Amino acid sequence: MPVFIVIIVFSLAAYVYYKIKFFKTKKEIEKKWLSAKSSIALGLFVFFFGINRIFITQTTVTVIIGIIFIIIGGFSIYTGFKAYKFYLPHILKEREQM
């Protein structure tokens, strides 16, 4: 499905973008915040890759692997979002002080 391929490419690009910003920043709290954002992007990549895999070929092995990717991606999205929400107030407070 072309829609999933576009989402996969954009989420992989977002992951690379946030990882580059992660290595460029010096502040520890901002590193954790960027790491959470990159975790969400990587989770989206794995999640939609699993969905795309199920739609392309529907053998038993492919469906099982796709479901595993969907679960791992969903877990990564969930934990990344929780970390993002946790570090966001700290980032905002730090930017107010500047």
pLDDT tens digits, one per residue of 43-84: 999 999 999 999 998 899 999 999 999 999 999 999 999 999
Q: What's the domain range around 7?
A: 2-97
Q: Are 77 and 57 in contact (CB under 8 A)?
A: no
In whole angstroms, give the CA distance from residue 14 to residue 29: 20
Task: Provide the 8-state DSSP code for 93.
Answer: H
Give residue 14's pLDDT: 97
Number of domains in the chain: 1
Whether pTM > 0.75 for this model: the answer is yes
Q: Is residue 39 classed as helix, strand or coil in its secondary structure?
A: helix
